[in-house]
Structure 1
Amino acid sequence: MTLGQKIKELRESSGMFQRQLAAILEIGDGYLSKVENDQKAIKREHLKTISETFNFSFEELEALWIATKIYDIVKNEKEGLNALKAAEEQIKHKTINND
């Protein structure tokens, strides 16, 4: 699931209209529509507001936000998937050695 899909799911499950959430985030409802359709990025600072508004894990939202940034970097790379696997191994190695 993408961050945009998660935001839309949270908003719809609470019965909130796009314009209402857009007003809370102080962005345009057209911009929010593009965020929910994965055409635009939302600012990191908006994650806290979304988390509080829907009583949803900030950490999960942040992980999806980071995943979107990573995807944007590797999506057109022939070796993108291999790069992701290599990065995962580097993170595991660093975590093991720092514990």
Structure 2
Amino acid sequence: MKTLGETLKCAREEKEMILRKVAAEVDIDQSLISKFEKNERKPTMEQLVRLAKFYALSESDLIINWYSEKIADKLKYTESTSEILKVAEEKIKYYKTQANEK
């Protein structure tokens, strides 16, 4: 399983591009892209979408990876992570039904 940063770095290397060129194309600072690739920072959703389009990667897959890493980071030292995720999924379903009733 690749991290988001590894996925972005592999995509850049497959295009045989240097960071500076990617930065100019997607209008994101070169040092930020470097930090994304090293998993030192997470891109914003807007930056993620720009990178997905530029690299011709699945936007949906990148977004799933982005959210899953945020959740994993928050829960990595927590007991009962499976139970927490199960309850969170139930709450999401509940919130969606409540929103649909309005």
Q: Would the TM-score normalized by the shorter structure come out above 0.5? A: yes
Shift of 1:86: 4.3
TM-score if structure 1 supplies the norm length? 0.76
CA deviation string 1:16-75 (max 9, x = no partner): 111222223333222211111111010101122112212221111111111121122112
- 1:62 aligns with 63
| 1:32-47 equivalence runs, <5 A | 32-47=33-48
Q: How many residues align?
A: 94
The answer (yes or no) to whether the contact 2:3–2:65 under 8 Å persists in 1 is yes
Return the index of the structure with the highest Cα Rg.
2
Query: Greater CA deviation, 61-70 or 27-36?
Result: 27-36
TM-score if structure 2 supplies the norm length? 0.74
Cα 1:76/1:22, change in 2 over 3 Å: farther
Q: Alignment partner of 2:28: what SS? A: coil
Instruction: Structure 2: give runs of 5+ residues left out of the alignment.
Output: 98-102
Give the AA of the match of 1:51: A
What value does the CA root-mean-square deviation take over the aligned residues?
Answer: 2.3
Q: Alignment partner of 2:22: what SS? A: helix
- 2:15 aligns with 14
Cα 1:30/1:81, change in 2 over 3 Å: farther
Give the AA of the match of 1:68: E
Partners in 1 of 2:8 and 2:40 — Cα distance?
13
